[in-house]
Amino acid sequence: MKQARAWQRMLSGRRLDLLDPTPFDIEIEDIAHGLAFVARWNGQTHGDYAYSVAEHSLLVDALFCRLNPGAKAAERLTALLHDAPEYVIGDMISPVKAAIGPEYDVLDKRLAAAIHIRFGLPASTPKTLKTRIKKADRVSAWMEATQIAGFSEAEASKFFGRPDAAVIDGLSIVLRPASEVRADFTAQHAHLMEQMT
């Protein structure tokens, strides 16, 4: 029986094998492009543009900095790339991930390891750093839920916890065209990579 194709051709020309990804087939332009066109919240957000995973990742980076003053560039890059595998596997809301089961997590971890190695990060994110990034991720989710996804503050606080007002002060979600978000994501990645050298 013929084996199903498990690779995807990227716009860069790379062929990424989803079951056996290699860092050599990872390009930031592919990640930025894919994430800029993947909608969070299954697209169920107010506005004329989708709220993309790339935009979410930029917000998580900003929140991570506020929560962790003096964070190293490598830690910030890890925060920026925390959802990077979604450039090929898409963003699934938590109930869907639970329904799929552990196979989704295995695929996500395999892709994340290849991405991390490609950009000079440890293949597996240390638990303490993962916890700190998750905190920023939850603050981002609360902001998204209340500002663009139709949740009341009470409902969002029940699911994600109410963030400290000082952490989100002055931050707001502005929906933008994918091309702008893609450019900002790529620029932030380049900035952090430069700081790491």
Give the tens place of pLDDT for each residue, 74-106: 999 999 999 999 999 988 877 787 888 788 888
**Other C-beta atoms lying within 10 Å of the C-beta of residue 165:** 7
* Residues 35 and 83 sit within 8 Å (Cβ to Cβ): yes
Q: For residue 52, report the phi and psi dihedrals to the nearest 5 degrees.
A: -85, 165
Residue 96, pLDDT score: 80
In eight-state DSSP terms, residue 17 is E
Q: Which residue has the higher pLDDT, 2 or 9?
A: 9
Residue 99, pLDDT score: 82
Residue 1 above 70 pLDDT? no
CATH class of the region 26-174 = mainly alpha
pLDDT in tens, 147-172: 999 999 999 999 999 999 999 999 99
Residue 191, pLDDT score: 98
CA-to-CA separations, 162 to 13, 41, 91, 135, 136, in angstroms, rounded: 43, 19, 23, 11, 12
Residues of the chain with pLDDT > 70, as a percent, come to 98
Q: Please report, for the chain, the start and end positions of each structural domain, with discontinuous segments joined by +.
A: 26-174
Q: For residue 16, report the phi and psi dihedrals to the nearest 5 degrees.
A: -100, 115
Whole-model pTM: value is 0.94
* Residues 143 and 167 sit within 8 Å (Cβ to Cβ): no
* Residues 75 and 129 sit within 8 Å (Cβ to Cβ): yes
Average pLDDT over residues 44-56: 96
Residue 101, pLDDT score: 79
d(CA 72, CA 87): 25
Query: b/e map of 127-138 (b: 16 or more CB within 10 Å)?
Result: eebeebbebbbb
Residue 181 above 80 pLDDT? yes
pLDDT in tens, 4-40: 778 899 999 999 998 899 999 999 999 999 999 999 9
H or E, element range at 8: strand 7-9
Residue 136 above 80 pLDDT? yes
**Other C-beta atoms lying within 10 Å of the C-beta of residue 40:** 25
Residue 64 in tokens: 């991570």
